[in-house]
Structure 1
């Protein structure tokens, strides 16, 4: 494959395409198409292209319409339009609507066209560099917050990990496209729990009865989590999912507005069910009893998702083979199904976390210095959270701190 910048040229006149390719092939990797339809077909198979140059006046699909489709599907591709003087009004409209980077009038010399493409390539480089920077910022922010949650509240982090697993399974089953949004929302839906008083947090994660005041604080956890994450770029869809986690399918619940049924974001409906199921399972109920409970909660959950959850429990996909291991048998990738505690009972790592290289080393260090309650209960992993929600540690105390407790 050529290292030259990739450029797609679209024109219904074959002679013009041949001339463009002949004059520019030393500077760019040129692909040609004879119509907007063919151009879209090429893009669907061979994208990405840095730049697209399209003629305006083509049969069936004008260049402006073609480039509008390009903008919708491949927004980072920079779009250039070739046009005759008679088309200026329509081209001006296209430029003003924002889907044309630049337009050139015919006839256009090879030198001018090459210079315009060079400018467009620089614009493409800026766009992709900004996107890469934002993605790295997003991933870095998520990683940092996940680590903080694991350290500050291992119980909340363990619960979030378990919610994430079930939510991901349901999202995959329902065919949701942006599954990462559900994963990130699940991992951070408990961040707001750091605002709870220590005693309330302990009661919550040990499933002890709460006072009405404590219930109100817990109900606000999704909103608090959303507020904490509000300044991270590109999390708008994730924030919406978190905002509506407390919304019942019948429209009751929080936030108090008119949304109901399928108007509620799908990710929110998934997380609401996953959170409720995780809570019942953490109380020791088996999947069948968990399903019996959630299906009797009238108006709370999406019936279609209840059906999917029932299929997961009935098929056994929701169940895991759990094994008790010694420390030397522990391997990266395994999932902790019970809390890891010191011999004195201090919580070291919350259940639900994946054993990473660093976490494995720390568990071994605890074993060697303070001793652990054995065996360690684990299961083999059946899903991956993805790069966006990776987390390495759930440790809440150093070996020295455990020794002194």
Structure 2
């Protein structure tokens, strides 16, 4: 048995994801696949198009054996924190042999070389970052220049999103002294940020843009038929597509209600950003206007959107610090599995110290930290369903009532 881990969002599952999954099995000789998947919100600070159970079903229908959830407190974060949560979760299963991720580079040696710098942070590297931050550069930009200086070579490898995540995955494997062996596959066809569909392997961004324009038929052929059918089924139920604009009023309500001190406690709010958020939440009339006003060269649009989601759900910086101080993810939450996945769960139960959770109807039975993380997840889902088009689907308690998908 060779168990491969992958870290995914599948928002939605498209042909590029299928290529990555099949190619990853090939290069690692994997017999079983565990996917750590973001729940109802994704890393860039937006809600998922359809809920986590629909996306888990897509994954299982296309070759994944077990889907476990990356808790919300790690899913909607910077690449560093996102990667830590996902890698820690895979490592904690104590059954994963390898991990395979996509990258624009496709060069595991080059990615590993940069990951070593980030994992061990030489003093000269840290000094360079501080220097460029003082010049007003964003952290990603400052880090990119500092790495180029340290390597005495171009750091263009850090200019693309999948490379950045790949490096963070490797860095966290090093810091955890994990036995999991990393592999990478070169990303093909469309880039991560491509907004138009040029062929049958588009970016998820392009698919979401098409759906935002209500052109469902244009994405036919860009994803496996079974995934396209699942999307249509969810949309027909009025359970998607969900976009951040669907939370415009809850976000404005929250920002106009909180005070400066409360906003300063929110994860990722720092250096006076709370003042900009309060000021422009009172002056802007829609979400896009708010984001464009708050955004600066140093504070990216993605960071602003993550902060808006954190504020709406109420995630404080202290929450993350407490979880990290106590080992990161507190449990293995199962979203779905097939027969091979059922066997994986038996192995995990034998080897992992983390509890496997399939039913969260009664959180009172869990220790305080597990209970706290589950309650944050439930709150995030209760707000997520407010983005559904069908009012009958907006009832709270879906996290407690929904069982894992079995394929």
State the TM bucket, normalised to the shorter chain: under 0.3
Larger-gyration structure (1/2): 1
The TM-score with structure 1 as length reference comes to 0.25
